[in-house]
Amino acid sequence: MGPMTPDERLRSYRLKRRTEQSGEPNGSSATAPHEGLPRFVVQRHDARNLHFDVRLEVDGVLVSWAVPKGPSLNPADKRLAHRTEDHPLDYLDFEGRIGEGYGAGTVIVWDIGTYDNLTLVDGEPIAAAHALAKGHIKVELHGHKLSGAFAFTHTRMGGDEANWMLVKVDDDAADRRRRPTSTQNESVLTGLTNSDLEADPLP
């Protein structure tokens, strides 16, 4: 068995939703090549429970975590990050209102940008997919609201295989006062908020 293809990795994404009804991307462009650094997105998803979806582009898909409180710039904050199904690359700039069904609610692009994989093992850089498989990845984000290094660690807290922890690395971009998840709730793409989208007609 070789590594899974993006199509294979998106099987769970596609099984969970009917994209022709929800208006979400179906991932048909998941394997489209692009130049430069891998990308990341943080989406603010006002669903049954408000949360932030943090996604990193890795090998043709968006590796994803739902972070209930969202990322913090304070290295003292440990944020629960629940690993969810890989998403297609065309989810990167998805905003809208998802109707009844899985994930029903509104989604805005809260932050978007590129990242560098900083993960080292025994002082040597390792690929993002390998770092994830080992349960620890350190990335430097180049976004509008988020910058500097963040670390994801697979904690399996409470015996839940999906539980990871997201922590700001203590670097120049760490900030113990600024709380963008409270004070900057608009989309970096459109300036819209989740509540602006509640009035949207469904697709």
- Which residues are CB-neighbours of 104 under 8 A, at least 6 positions away? 47, 48, 98
CB of 84 to Mn ion, least distance (A): 7
Q: Which amino acid is at 91?
A: Y
Nearer to Mn ion, 51 or 149 (CB): 51
Three-class DSSP category at 157 = helix
Q: Nearest residue by C-beta to Mn ion?
A: 45
The least CB distance from residue 2 to Mn ion, in Å, is 30
* Min CB(96)–Mn ion separation in Å: 13
Q: Which stretch binds Mn ion (CB under 5 A): 4-12, 34-42, 50-58, 146-154?
A: 50-58
Residue 45 or 79: the one with the smaller Cβ distance to Mn ion is: 45
Task: Give the separation between CA 120 and CA 71, rounded to whole angstroms.
Answer: 22
Nearer residue to Mn ion within complex by CB, 106 or 119: 106
Residues in 19-48 that interact with Mn ion by CB under 5 A: 45
Is residue 23 within 8 A of residue 74, CB to CB? The reply is no
CB of 95 to Mn ion, least distance (A): 13
C-alpha radius of gyration, the chain, whole number: 16
Could you tell me the two tokens for 91? 């989810």
**95 interacts with Mn ion by CB under 5 A:** no
Identify the bridge partners of residue 62 per DSSP, sorted by sequence position. 57, 87
Task: Indicate the residue among 91 and 150 with the shorter CB distance to Mn ion.
Answer: 91
With tokens 């943090």, the residue in question is 54
Q: Are strands 61-67 and 79-87 parallel, antiparallel or unpaired?
A: antiparallel
Tokens of 167: 């922590």
Residue ranges in 109-138 that form contacts with Mn ion under rule CB under 5 A: none
Q: Does 53 bind Mn ion (CB under 5 A)?
A: yes
The residue (of 41 and 149) whose beta carbon lies closer to Mn ion is 41
The CA distance from 123 to 106, in Å, is 42
- To Mn ion, the closest distance from the beta carbon of 101 in angstroms equals 13
Least distance (Å) between residue 107 CB and Mn ion: 7
DSSP letter (8 states) at residue 145: S
Q: Which is nearer to Mn ion, 86 or 149 (CB)?
A: 86
Which residues form the interface with Mn ion (CB under 5 A)? 45, 53
